[in-house]
Amino acid sequence: MTPVLVPSGGSPETLGATVTAEGVVFAVYSETAEWIAVCLFDAGDREITRFRLDGREGAVHFGLVGGLGAGARYGLRADGPWAPERGLWFDPDKLLVDPYARRVDRVFHRQDSLGRPRGSGVDTAPDMPKAIVPGEPRAAANPIMSAPGLFYELNVRGYTLLHPDVPRPLRGTIEGLMSDAVVKHLSRLGVTTVELMPVAAWIDDAHLPALGLSNAWGYNPVTYFAPDPRLAPSGMADVRALTDLYRAHGIGVILDVVYNHTGEGDAETGLTLSLRGLDAPTYYRHFEADGRLRLVNDTGTGNTLRCDHPAVQRLVIESLRYWVEEGGVSGFRFDLAPILGRTPGFDPEAELLRMLREDPVLKAAVLVAEPWDPGPGGYQLGRFGEPFMEWNDRYRDDVRSFWRGDGRMLGRFATRLAGSEDVFGESGRGPAHGVNLIAVHDGFTLADLVSHASKWNIPNGEDNRDGHDHNFSWNGGAEGRTDDPDILDRRRADMRALLATLFVSRGTPLLQQGDEFGRTQAGNNNAYAQDNATTWVDWAGADHGLIGFVARLVALRAAHPALRADRFLSPEDVDWLRPGGGQMADADWNAGDADVLGMCLREGADVVLVWFNRRHIAVDAELPRGDWTLVLSSADGGEIARGRLILPPRSVSVLVLAERVQAAAKPMSS
């Protein structure tokens, strides 16, 4: 049957493309467009017809196309003023992706045509992916929505591209994450929640093609409903298969989502792909200068979503629901989360944040904020409130500083071990709302943290100006790669000490892909543009001894509520000990050269003693009274004799009272 526009048909109620008994209803939001058309394409990517939507209710343009069904390929065109000085970029020669597209037929690639001004005479349809009309929705998923015990951050593409036990056709895809070898590895580690770096369809940043680089991380989205075809060739069906499988293994899946900007970029080098061509003043924040509207750039990427506008709020909420109900994901980590609450300054009670807290679907999901953005007043750690968890960079920096050897760190170090009450206590949340991290995608890997005193981002093509300069890192005696066995031993000891610190701290631990076996990025601490062996996880080079050590740490934490209780430590819960015996005094905390700390935790009948020794020599520590058993040492050695323990250099040692030794925490060394 030939598609035909049904006069005065359709409804503005549901945005996007919706299959009905009469055909497909299209509905698009634009306050400023004069008209919007739906263009249909055949299997050869030829435009076969277009229909101007003949219905309008408020800002919603809508219409019904009869003779059409699921699987049809389409795009949008919109017309109105071409007036960039007023934030208007209408050009009917630009084919646009529906913001509510559930699936796109191919990857977005930068092309000159996509950024040309109106009147250039170039139709961009050949250079644009097409949206695919969705079929009937699947039955609503039943995702895991319990509090995570261990986050594991991974990049879908880079995680399996070099995995020898993943079938080659599946490497670099979501389906590759369903391979037995991957599931077994995550299960062995005790991962409860996998955090996938962005999977929504994205496009390269403007400057990368000229450098021969491409975006490896995905933090440059074009769509918010459609998965990227590189990762999910079958669209949301791949995501649902993954979440169903992982749920069967007790693992939830959350998504890193980017509701702060889009890949359309700035006014100078940007592209017209979707929101800009439909209604830029509605979707993007602007400010007036010299009589012109200019894009706000609180994200550092050229544009900023207008999250205080109802249309943007609807886009965010409905797309998040879709990932939960259709895709089965358990929650979300919000990149540059203060943007969600900017009005333009950050307000923790902003409308979109309120909607996230109260939405009947989303309020039960795992919600994690990256609580900073590059804009004015963008650092908002601790201000998101219930039910949000937050990435805790103070934990990262203070733990790194302690192990690097910085002076006067014991007090801050102990505060982080105890759950960062200074950050989360005022809001009434517990330590578990803080996501403790040593290393994540944005920065050094764990191995590079102890191998590089300075970043090495030259391959990114920005003369080493990009990426963090303050990494609180060290190199063990030589910068970067070395064959010196003594330096390598020191680095291995430091990695184990850092990992042990992470898992004995109150709060929710996060582990970055490959840090459990010593993955390196050769000192690149901003490897977003390295879709190559720099970011592809090197499974062949894995340190299997370190993997086993991390698995034991996770089991130890699970066996001892004293290590993971969601309560800030009070004097009844902890004794802070000095190695010479007795509790820490004020003078001990303030000593500039203090390098050793004991932490004796009590949670009911569970009593755990942890010693931290950052010195490069062994230390003789007096133990409290009791029959103690050493259950874990991050380094070789650690002998108990006559009520004392020899703490190995650069080590963490964990002891429990003998009557509390459990099977999951049997005596062990490195």
pLDDT single digits (tens) 596-627: 999 999 999 999 999 999 999 999 999 999 99
pTM for the structure as a whole: 0.97
- The answer to whether residues 159 and 88 belong to one domain is no
Whether residue 457 is contained in a domain is answered as: yes
Instruction: State the DSSP code for 250.
Output: T
Looking up residue 333, the CATH number of its domain turns out to be: 3.20.20.80
Token pair recorded at residue 155: 């990049």
- The answer to whether residues 238 and 331 belong to one domain is yes
Portion of the chain with pLDDT greater than 70, in percent = 98
Residue 243 to residue 255: CA distance in whole angstroms: 11
- The answer to whether residues 82 and 226 belong to one domain is no
SS3 628: strand
pLDDT in tens, 308-329: 999 999 999 999 999 999 999 9
Q: What is the DSSP string of 474-486?
A: --TTSSS----HH
* Angle at the Cα of 147 from the Cα atoms of 144 and 149, rounded to 5 degrees: 105
For the chain, the average pLDDT equals 96
- The answer to whether residues 383 and 511 belong to one domain is yes
Residue 98 in contact with residue 29, Cβ under 8 Å? no
Beta strand 644-647 with 619-622: parallel, antiparallel or unpaired? antiparallel
Segment 85-108 mean pLDDT: 98
- Neighbouring CB atoms inside 10 A of 288's CB total 10
Which of 548, 563, 578 is the C-terminal boundary of a domain?
A: 563
- The answer to whether residues 126 and 156 belong to one domain is no
Active site residues: 335, 370
- The answer to whether residues 181 and 108 belong to one domain is no
Which of 526, 546, 563 is the C-terminal boundary of a domain?
A: 563
Whether residue 241 is contained in a domain is answered as: yes
Whether residue 621 is contained in a domain is answered as: no
Looking at the predicted structure, is the pLDDT value of residue 59 above 70? Answer: yes
Look up the domain containing 171 and give its range. Answer: 151-258+310-462+507-563
Looking up residue 35, the CATH number of its domain turns out to be: 2.60.40.10
Beta strand 151-154 with 508-512: parallel, antiparallel or unpaired? parallel
Looking at the predicted structure, is the pLDDT value of residue 225 above 80? Answer: yes
Whether residue 224 is contained in a domain is answered as: yes
Residue 62 in contact with residue 56, Cβ under 8 Å? yes
Please report, as a single letter, which amino acid is at residue 566: D
Whether residue 578 is contained in a domain is answered as: no
pLDDT in tens, 167-205: 999 999 999 999 999 999 999 999 999 999 999 999 999
- Neighbouring CB atoms inside 10 A of 71's CB total 11
Contacts of residue 112, defined as CB under 8 A and 6 or more positions apart, other chains included, come to none
